[in-house]
Amino acid sequence: MEAGTLESENISDSTKKVKCHVGRDVDLYIEMEKEEKPFTEGFQFVYDLWTNYTVDKRMYHEIQRKGVLVYERK
């Protein structure tokens, strides 16, 4: 991914829930200028990747409600 295409990144997981465990996945939501594959390599943890081009309305609202914004280009 080109450095200039990332607009924001939001991370959401179940850490606020009692049922959180090591195998639980993390939801990554990334807003990009262009539709492209954001990563060329995977991570060492289980995750679901959503972008502003792939997310549906229900998941978008879930991530916005429970997620943590970790990066935003101004």
**What tens digit of pLDDT does each residue of 34-64 get?**
898 887 787 888 888 899 999 999 999 988 8
User: What residues does each domain of the chain span?
Assistant: 3-72
Instruction: In whole angstroms, give the CA distance from residue 50 to residue 21.
Output: 22
Alpha helices in the chain (DSSP H): 57-66
Query: What's the pLDDT score for residue 5?
Result: 64
Q: 9-40, pLDDT tens digit by residue?
A: 777 655 445 455 566 778 889 899 889 888 77
pTM: 0.70
Label residue 28 exposed, middle or buried (CB < 10 Å: 0-12, 13-18, 19+): buried
Whether residue 3 has pLDDT greater than 90? no
Q: CATH says 3-72 is which class?
A: alpha beta
